[in-house]
Amino acid sequence: MRREASVLHLDLDAFFAAVEQRDKPSLRGRPVVVGGTGGRGVVATASYEARAYGARSAMSTAEARRRCPSGTAFLGGRFGAYRRTSDVVMALLRELSPLVEPVSIDEAYVDLAAPGTGHDLSVDGVTALARGLKARIAEATGGVTGSVGIGTSKLMAKIGSDLDKPDGLVVVPPGSELDVLHPLPVTRLGGVGPATAERLRQVGVGTVGDLAAKSLTDLVTLAGRAHGTGLYQLARAEDDRPVVAEREAKSVSQESTFERDLTDLAELNRLIDSMAARVAERLRASALSGRTVTLKLRRYDFTTMTRSQTLPQPTDDVRQVAAIARRLLAEAGTGGGLRLIGVGVSGLSQYAQGDLFADDDEPQEAVDDVVEEPAAPPPPADRRWWPGQDVVHDELGAGWVWGRGLGRVTVRFEGPLTPPGPVRTLAADDPALHPGDPPDWRPPTMDA
């Protein structure tokens, strides 16, 4: 731990949903759920209005639909819009310090004591700094808010940012860490998931204070040496992890959840080929390659399994990644049906050496499948569109997809700088309707 509260943690509030409400004025103040919208979909983010009805991240979309009232907006994600907003926020953080550690698209640590920063690290000083940061974020992002925690360690900064959400600010003064930490539920500690929490409950541990009363031997026996030692230290606020400006990617992966269980091997192999292509593209864009190819499967009964193969040399070759993933799928089987499949590459490095002995014809060309199987009918025109998608109509202007089905698509024509707009139902194959880019939420600059 540090002597001053000089680690800042920012967590943007219900980030995906907040961006949707900013860009879609008719949804402001209403329940919004972002995530998979199909039958197998999972909630990525729920607005605070939706959380009031029990919707939450990682819940199935079907369950969120049951809990939320009529009129709740269920939207597919718009990663481009979220990334643009995140980039603005991360740039503001880097104005505070050269040491900014993004944890995810909506979360980051900042070292306020980094060389050259010169910040006033008193409690009053960092409080004023955080208030100014929050105001700049709200202004620069069109109203997206974030909760800030500041403490003597990453642990206490993250705990602080979670204590007063949304739009909160908590500074944990040096010396008060245990007073803040010990009354909290033990699930507030990183690494205490449902299984660990249940084991702790069985031995009378419900709060962090209860955990701190356990000996190191007890916790190692309960959770294993590494995990038990970590819990012992966190319960005592012992955390000396530095803020690291560049986090190295550990893996590159792509996965998809299906609206129905899939069993057809040819169809699954085509999906694997597509995922392998996207993984390879991302590897090459980052000048990376990897040695371990992993296949992730979730079966009809929600059991999840992974299979992997490690190569003697790193690769970014799409043919090799796809061929290995196909072979792993054949070995695992598709019995009962699969509802999720993913392809990933790990063991990353900046070095790539193709397999000189790889067969040129692996994986099989898609034309082989076409010869052996009847061609699938084209998807309905309305499948081009998904709820929440940005669109542009040649005559009606920019808007977003409200709904689709039966060969039609319903669009609400509005944007972040307009009042709530009108709704129009169009033919799904209307030639005047096109996919659009995320709208700009920033007002146009005024000429002098």
**Where is mean pLDDT largest: 189-193, 250-254, 275-279, 436-440?**
436-440
447 occurs within a structural domain: no
Can 107 be counted among the known catalytic residues?
A: yes
Specify the DSSP element, H or E, that contains 252: strand 251-262
Domain identity same for 199 and 88: no
Question: Per the residue annotation, which of 107, 255, 331, 414 is the catalytic one?
Answer: 107
Instruction: Read off the pLDDT band of 379 (50, 70, 90).
Output: low
Across 126-147, average pLDDT: 97
Average pLDDT along the chain: 87
378 occurs within a structural domain: no
294 occurs within a structural domain: yes
For the beta sheet containing 251-262, the strands, ordered from the edge strand earlier in sequence to the opposite edge, are 251-262, 338-349, 289-299, 304-315
The domain spanning residue 291 has which CATH number?
Answer: 3.30.1490.100
Distance of alpha carbon 105 from alpha carbon 86, whole angstroms:
6
Q: Count Cβ atoms within 10 A of the Cβ of residue 87 and give its class: 0-12 exposed, 13-18 middle, 19 or more buried.
A: exposed
Q: pLDDT by residue (tens digit) across 198-218?
A: 889 999 999 999 999 999 999
Q: pLDDT over 70 for what percent of the chain?
A: 89
Question: What are the structure tokens assigned to 253, written together?
Answer: 């992966």
pLDDT at 251 over 90: no
* pLDDT in the model for residue 383: 64
pTM, full prediction: 0.74
Q: What angle do CA 19, 142, 121 make, to 5 degrees?
A: 100
Number of Cβ within 10 Å of residue 8's Cβ equals: 29
Domain identity same for 16 and 163: yes
Instruction: Read off the pLDDT band of 360 (50, 70, 90).
Output: very low
Best CA proximity match to 348, nearest among 291, 430, 427: 291
Domain total for the chain?
Answer: 4
* pLDDT in the model for residue 121: 97
* pLDDT in the model for residue 131: 98
Distance of alpha carbon 43 from alpha carbon 148, whole angstroms:
24
The dihedral through the CA atoms of 252, 258, 264, 267 has a sign that is negative
292 occurs within a structural domain: yes
Q: Count Cβ atoms within 10 A of the Cβ of residue 110 and give its class: 0-12 exposed, 13-18 middle, 19 or more buried.
A: buried
The domain spanning residue 227 has which CATH number?
Answer: 1.10.150.20
pLDDT at 370 over 50: no
Q: What angle do CA 161, 163, 164 make, to 5 degrees?
A: 90
Question: What are the structure tokens assigned to 243, written together?
Answer: 């803020």
Best CA proximity match to 385, nearest among 399, 404, 413: 404
Domain identity same for 303 and 345: yes
Instruction: Read off the pLDDT band of 124 (50, 70, 90).
Output: very high
Q: Look at residues 343, 372, 401 and tell me which one is the last residue of a structural domain.
A: 372
* pLDDT in the model for residue 22: 98
Least confident range from 127-131, 141-145, 241-245: namely: 241-245
Across 176-185, average pLDDT: 96
Domain extent for 423: 385-435
Domain identity same for 335 and 282: yes
* pLDDT in the model for residue 242: 94
Domain identity same for 362 and 221: no
pLDDT at 356 over 80: no
pLDDT at 277 over 60: yes
Instruction: Read off the pLDDT band of 44 (50, 70, 90).
Output: confident
